[in-house]
Structure 1
Amino acid sequence: MSDPETLAVYAAQAEKYATLATLDMERPHVERFIAQMPKGARVLDIGCGPGVVTGAFAAAGMEAEAWDPVPEMVAMAAAQPGVTARQAVYADLVAEGVYDGIWANFSMLHTSLADWPAQFAAVARALKPGGLFHFGTKLGEGEARDSIGRFYSYISEPALMDLMAQTGLTVEYTRTGEGAGLSGEVAPFISVQARA
Structure 2
Amino acid sequence: MKTIDYYNQYADQFLQATLYVDMESLYQPFLAKLPDSARILDLGCGSGRDTLAFKNKGYQVDATDYSEVLVERATQLTGVPVKQQSFYELDMHDVYDGVWACASLLHCDRNRLPDVLKRIHSALRCGGICYMSFKYGTTDREKDGRAFTDLDEHQAKLLLDQLDGVAVLKQWITVDKRPDRKEEWLNVLWKKHA
Q: Same fold (TM over 0.5)?
A: yes
Q: Match of 1:37? A: 34
**Farther-moved stretch of structure 1 (127-136 vs 22-31):** 22-31
| TM-score, length of structure 2 as denominator length | 0.89
Write the distance in 2 (CA, Å) between the matches of 1:55 and 1:185: 24
Once the two structures are superposed, residues 127-177 of structure 1 have per-residue CA deviations (whole angstroms, 9 ceiling, x without a partner) of: 00010100000122231101x111111222111022123213211122203
For residue 54 of structure 2, what is the aligned residue in structure 1? 57
Contact 1:173 1:194 in 2 (8 A): yes
RMSD: 1.9
The yes-or-no answer on 1:152 pairing with 2:148 is yes
Equivalent position of 2:160 in the other structure: 164
Which residue number in structure 2 is paired with residue 21 of structure 1? 18
Which structure 1 residue ranges, 4+ long, deviate > 4 Å from structure 2? none
What is the deviation of 1:43? 0.8
1:46 aligns with 2:43: yes
TM-fit CA distance, 1:9: 1.4
Moved more, 52-61 or 80-89: 80-89
Give the gaps of 5 or more residues in structure 2: none
Shift of 1:94: 1.2
Q: CA separation in 1, counterparts of 2:12 and 2:114?
A: 32
Partner of 1:131: 128
Pair 1:177 & 2:174 matched: yes
TM value normalised by structure 1: 0.88
Cα distance change, pair 149–46 in 1 and its aligned pair in 2 (3 A): same
Kindly provide the CA deviation profile for residues 4-36 of structure 1, in whole angstroms up to 9, marking residues without a partner as x: 521121122212222332344334111332333
Contact 1:25 1:53 in 2 (8 A): no
